[in-house]
Structure 1
Amino acid sequence: MLQGPRATRYVPQLYFTSIRVLCNANTSEHFNPKKDASFPEINLKTGEIEGLIGGFPPSNRTVLAFFAGGAHGLIRSTFLKHWKEKDEQLLVYETLPEGMPYPDMMKKSRYCICPSGWEVASPRIVEAIYAECVPVLISQHYVLPFSDVLDWNSFSVEVSVSDIPNLKKILLGIPEDRYLRLREGVKQVQRHFLVNDPPKRYDVFHMIIHSIWLRRLNVLVYS
């Protein structure tokens, strides 16, 4: 919901005395990273993670980068204008061709492009991590989940909006040894984005509880 970070600003006592946990962690919409926690957007269509985890080894990842999604939001519209169905190594679609399953494409791609849409967050980030595909983040004003404790530079690539036209050059310029380290980093952080029932140690439930715990001293409590 676009208005998520703004919703409680109209009740100052609530806004200043609560820790908000939001997927739409947009600082331009009054998300406050000192006291609010960013939650990863996760799309589990069946409610299960079976079959979602893992992907091809690096030697079998034949696609440089992949994206499929609608042209909503300025960043994504700009991205699609530059790259939609224009390159054989950067496979970018608004609508996937028939016979090209979305999960399979992520699992055989080296990089998965995650541009912001109407919201700064995207479920593609977690989908990429599940598929062991290095996320390529294209966003503005987004506070990444669990960035207090996770070094996103060790398992993702951040590309500025102004560099969208140079995206292929940037990805091809990443040395093979760095790509392998990034992919290994993806595998290492995977457990922190898993949804388990019941929760398991270090999974997404425990990560968000830890994020809340870290912010407890930054909340103003009225007596």
Structure 2
Amino acid sequence: MDILSPTLLLSFLFLFLQPPITAANSAVYTSKTTFFSDYEKMMTNLKIFIYPTPNHQQYDSTPFSLLHNSLLASNFLTHNPNQATLFFLPFPPLSTRSLDRHIQLIRTSFPYWNRSLGADHFYFSCQGVGPSSSRNVVELKKNAIQIACFPVPAREFIPHKDVTLPSFSLLPRAVQNEGVPTRLLGYWSFAEVQSSVELINGFRNDGEFLIEFEPSDEGMYVERVQNSKFCLFVYDVEGLERLSVALAQGCVPVVITNRPMQDLPLIDVIKWSEIAVFVSSNMGSIELKKALIHTCEDGTYEKMRQLGVAVTQHFAWNESSPKPYDAFHMVMYQLWVRRHSIRYSKWKIM
């Protein structure tokens, strides 16, 4: 009997590990065929070289640590830059001047930056890179792929190349059981939300909604989410962690925003419109309630709930042992599809 080649064996392993796709959950992907085909190519071919950190500084950040440690333990890592598909620039928060010096050091010490003006490089920065007239910082911001945290500050995200991390919550996935009745139509746990005061006040005396200042106990928050059909969030205020918890617990997110969102995690892989409701911050409470009731009555709610639960496999960080299609691999996939991002051949001051 012939021995399978490593490549063929990996292909069989990929097919074995691939999650079952059914008519019920395939609708959540922008392109199911392209996604799984590209994912398989990524698992086989993606190689990443990591540059040394500036002055051996440590980056004390939970999302960065999850990403960095997972990459170090993965098969994507290569110590031979000539084999690299992409190059990772790990650096702690730096002043513009320090960042300029660091990129200049990379430019002069290695030959790889100048080949593409940084377009096959990526870096992590929750807050983005501020404005600068420095050639090095401008090329970093315009060409290199930024891995950011949702929501990204205005003007710090370039949709065609940048990505946002899936939730970095390590909470276990405790999916709501089928058939468990929910008491509430909607739940809204808010902090300081000045832009939605009227909407908040409109629900305060409605018995089908629970509106409260965010609970200090995480277990209580999860219980509230489990007992609600819809969970309300304000874009630019709420972090992704709670939105991910809502999806995992079968509570359909209602995202309140007054502008288009291009920085949603996995936005080029997942159809967010299939798992969340997006409404204007100018919508009144009566109009919003009618819309949510209609979503329940026409069967859309149950479909969204099931898809939301299914997609949370892509938001789970498995720090000790990354698993196929988890948050780490989805970040790697997004880097893979951006390896041919638009490159700027000329330097222009922003």
Pick the TM interval, shorter chain: 0.7 to 0.9
Q: What's 1:138 paired with?
A: 256
Identify if the C-alpha distance between structure 1 residues 97 and 24 changes in structure 2 by more than 3 Å, giving closer, same or farther. closer
Question: 1:220, CA displacement in angstroms?
Answer: 2.2
- Length-normalised TM-score, structure 2: 0.54
Identify if the C-alpha distance between structure 1 residues 8 and 97 changes in structure 2 by more than 3 Å, giving closer, same or farther. closer
Distance 2:216 2:152 in 1: 33
Match for residue 235 of structure 2 among 116, 119, 129: 116
User: Contact 1:146–1:211 (CA<8 Å) still a contact in 2?
Assistant: yes
Percent identity of equivalent pairs: 24
Larger radius of gyration: 2
Q: What's 1:57 paired with?
A: 178
Give the RMSD, CA atoms, in angstroms: 2.9
Is 2:271 the counterpart of 1:167?
Answer: no
AA partner of residue 61 (structure 1) = T
Distance 2:130 2:304 in 1: 37
Gaps of 5+ in 1: none
Question: 1:25, CA displacement in angstroms?
Answer: 4.5
Question: 1:168, CA displacement in angstroms?
Answer: 1.2
Matches within 5 A, 1:204-223: 204-220=327-343
- Length-normalised TM-score, structure 1: 0.82
Identify if the C-alpha distance between structure 1 residues 195 and 78 changes in structure 2 by more than 3 Å, giving closer, same or farther. farther
Is 2:243 the counterpart of 1:125?
Answer: yes
Distance 2:198 2:331 in 1: 32
Q: What's 1:89 paired with?
A: 208
Match for residue 37 of structure 1 among 146, 155, 163: 163
Q: What's 1:23 paired with?
A: 149
Question: 1 or 2 for the larger relative contact order (CA 8 Å, sep ≥6)?
Answer: 1
User: Contact 1:26–1:141 (CA<8 Å) still a contact in 2?
Assistant: no
User: Contact 1:27–1:142 (CA<8 Å) still a contact in 2?
Assistant: no
Question: 1:187, CA displacement in angstroms?
Answer: 2.0
Distance 1:90 1:153 in 2: 23
Report the 3-state secondary structure (helix = DSSP H, G, I; strand = E; otherwise coil) of the residue aligned with 2:188.
strand
Distance 1:126 1:58 in 2: 21
Gaps of 5+ in 2: 1-125
Distance 2:127 2:260 in 1: 14
User: Contact 1:56–1:108 (CA<8 Å) still a contact in 2?
Assistant: no
AA partner of residue 178 (structure 1) = T
Q: What's 1:184 paired with?
A: 306
